[in-house]
Amino acid sequence: MKNTVKLFTTLSLLLMAIWSSAQSRMPEVEMADALRENGKIYVVVIVLCIVFAGIIGYLVIIDRKLSKLEKQRKK
Amino acid sequence: MIKHWWKALGVVLVLYTIIFGFLGEVPRQPILNETIRNTYFHVTMWFGMIILMVASLVYSIKYLRTEESRSDLKAKELAISGFFLASLGLVTGSIWARFTWGAFWVNDAKLNGTAVTILIYLAYFVLRGSVDDPQKKARIAAVYNIFAFVMMFVFIGILPRMTDSLHPGNGGNPAFGAYDMDNKMRMVFYPAVVGWTLIAVWITDIKIRFHRLQKNNNEKYS
């Protein structure tokens, strides 16, 4: 199990190195075009949106609890 | 619900920033590459911090004029939130610098200026903590806050512009000129500033209300 993980990481790191070296040979300024072309950048955007929505949801809950306390105090 | 509109606006603007910050088109620049998108997340922290510090300054002056403790509370909490944004700006800037300028910390006028600014505001909190009498504390803190703001203005607004700096807008580099931000980026950047600032104000608002409740509670039972 451990060896497979090791092998996998080594292979993927190697692949990444080859990929990046292949990229740096291109004369144009590199941008993450490929990421957007095959649409995977959207995954990151969705993840970020969910994380942000979660944080905001938490803030809303805290805000509501505070409002409740403030109302109780007024009575 | 209607009185919460500004919170909703902040959420919508930051969501817009996240979506178009990643998917929108940006200028192609060597060295910077895709990291130019950090503008929407790192630079906005500093803009938000300055807006909150201005608000804090306004409440400090208001306190000196009216001696209302609520103004002092607002000034303090706004300064804390501004400090928080500044810390995020410093950490994110450090990471950005590592991959574009080559080191986590470079000897740049703006970086050292922000470090000094952070220390100045740290002293503001230490000062607040060291005075027991609430009225005296509020008055001294308000006066110091005015001083701190002026120092911040000098250290991150004036001095970096008089020397060479790696930051755009300093030492003859154009600030958000044609080379740094095009109109497409501005369409995301300015809403991002407003959005992040509103979120920070929301958190500040929650903290202010918490402290008010806490204070009332203490008065009730002591």
**pLDDT tens, residue by residue, B122-149:** 999 999 999 999 999 999 999 999 999 9
Q: Do A36 and B23 touch (CB under 8 A)?
A: yes
Write down the pLDDT at residue B201.
Answer: 96
The CA distance from A50 to A40, in Å, is 16
Judged against a pLDDT cut of 70, whether residue A35 lies above it is answered with no
Q: Do B18 and A49 touch (CB under 8 A)?
A: yes
Least confident among A25-29, A63-67, B126-130: A25-29
Domain map (residue ranges) of chain A: 1-30, 35-75
Going along B50-174, which residue ranges are E strands?
A: none
A45: nearest CA partner in chain B: B19
Give the residue with greater pLDDT, B131 vs B2.
B131
Q: Which amino acid is at A18?
A: I
A39 — alpha (psi -120 to 50), left (phi > 0) or beta? Answer: left
Q: Do B206 and A49 touch (CB under 8 A)?
A: no
Q: Do B15 and A52 touch (CB under 8 A)?
A: yes
B40, B186 Cβ separation under 8 angstroms? no
Judged against a pLDDT cut of 60, whether residue B220 lies above it is answered with yes
Nearest CB to A59: which of B28, B33, B202?
Answer: B202
**pLDDT tens digit sequence for B163-201:** 777 787 665 554 555 456 788 888 999 999 999 999 999
Domain map (residue ranges) of chain B: 14-24+36-212
Give the residue with greater pLDDT, B222 vs A59.
A59
B71-96 average pLDDT score: 95
Output the six-digit token pair for A43: 């995954």
The CA distance from B103 to B33, in Å, is 17
Write down the pLDDT at residue A4.
Answer: 64
Residue with tokens 């950048």: A41
